[in-house]
Structure 1
Amino acid sequence: VALFPFIQPEQAILSYDLSVHDERLATSFVVFLAARESANLRNLRTPKYVKADGVSLDSQFETTGVPRSWEVAGRVHASGFFSTSYECAPECVAWEKRVQLMEQYANVKVEVEMKDVLWWAALEEAPPDVLEFLEFLVSRYSNVWQPYKKMNPRGDGQLTLREFEVAFTTTLKCHKFQGPSAKQRIENIFRFLDPSGEGKVSEDEWGVLDRLWREMQQSIREFVQFLERLYSGQEQDFLDVAWGVLDDDGSGEITEQEWQSCLLRQLEYFGPASIIFRFLDKDDEGSVSHTEFRELERFRRSARAPDAGPPQPLAGDAVDE
């Protein structure tokens, strides 16, 4: 119970063995919050209940969904396994209820306001197309708020699906998604950004991209620190040494397959390699050149000074108008 993510259940993996009292209690917490932060427990995403044998699905549960009565721990099934993810639009967060649960069950006094919380997002929890879109944005803008302002020139903080679709290719000139599935993929990104299902993306909802970007920055900073620890103390700059190892055939570019193989087998790096590669591959050609690799230079500065703020845009980055 003490480990339940009371303040931010979003981005957490919620999986419980209902034969254990504390895990039934945790299940009731998430249902309690969903009942107060969404209609029809909408915030519970892909909920699943498996019977005690660990295999059989409960047919009634599959039909009717999570019982609202489960917000009371004593009414949660006393056997089986329950799992779900949780998504809530920022404007729907019942902050007082989250604080109430944490103070009552974790015995922790919460003395901060909601506005002071540093919300975070996990890259592995975001759909691949959302990450593709984010990689496009951060390679062309110094922050994720600039493109939002361009897509929403009225400044009313309400971006509709139609506006998003049009601005995606015309205003932002993003052509990452081609072919017959392009429209659906763009719509899927919009739906991810609109967890409330209201058909509009507010500025607060768009903020999930900022949280994902902070996580991406942190991953890249840690990768740069990894390279510096590995190759510091040599005559050449450690980034140049690392490039020489990665581009072992001297072709002047690295494919994603070469990148993945080299990082894993030669450098023994087990972090988010694909995300870093796609961030560096700014022209979307499926390879990283030495010039693109040197983009890591901006993260070296922030890696050495973690309190210095986010990396500054390089020459050629888009700037706010």
Structure 2
Amino acid sequence: MSACEKLLLLYTGGTIGMQQSADGLAPASGFEARVRAQQAQAGDLHLPNWCFRELLPPIDSANMSQSNWLAMVAAIRTGIEQDGCDGVLVLQGTDTLAYSAAALSFLLLGLPVPVVLTGAMLPAGAEGSDAWANLFGAMQALHQGTAQGVQVYFNGALMHGARVSKLQSDAFDAFTVLPRQRVAERATQLPDAINYRVQRQPVNIAVLPFYPGIQASHVSALLNSGVQALLLECYGSGTGPSDNAELLATLKAAHERGVVLAAISQCPQGHVEFGVYAAGSQLRNAGLISAGGMTREAALGKLFCLLGAGLPPAEVEHWFALDLCGERAE
């Protein structure tokens, strides 16, 4: 771990910089001046030197998309390769912060500097806001030295970017890393095809939970919409309606034509282990691959990284099953 001396502060929008509008809180530009004014007012915070970049237009993170992630990657590369930054702090809204942290964890594989994401539950300047504590706390953590890879800083804690989830909507400790079983072989060497320098393309990925009463026609309609991958949120340790032959046949046919099918557990502290129940084995036989104890955010981000790099389905399944950055193994 090395101390960050020149930091890229990348602002994407979110509650942290929002201001009141006629319709309520809305993303606002001009956040750099507010940060510098607050830093000057706070006195000696022992922060690194920093430069500011803003992705325009600033967005409410509820509007986050794959194109926004790709824009973040491009801005981060510019900050490091052209501006000489040795650390990155991304500011965004909290609704999809865990999704962005997971996506960047895989999109930035091999990046030689640390990246931290933070935001706020209340706008900067609001009474009792956590904005400045999160922002300056993250900057101080980077200045003191953090490990390479992507992390989230929130409420005084650093958390693994590919393991964190938002569990509360109105508390300062909204983010946490839940204990989930993460046993998988670690990739000994990452292929050049998924290095952070590789240009990614948007891909069509869908997420669908199993629920009592789900029909084969529901799944078929989604699979026939052009999706390249379907992330199924299964029950418990990776089970589903195994007595529905039509549904299983629909999944198998999609897999045979090249759709990547992955399974996560709906349980906040669960993990997929297909062989425990016959119902799970049926899903595995239909072509599903296990995400183990990965979160929804991590599994989605990983599929985007692999498919967006243009890897064929068999290679996507191979690398999805391995631990790439600590998302599947302690």
Query: Normalising by the residue count of structure 1, what TM-score does the alignment of the two structures yield?
Result: 0.25
Higher strand share: 2
TM-score by length of 2: 0.25
Normalized per residue, the structure richer in helix is 1
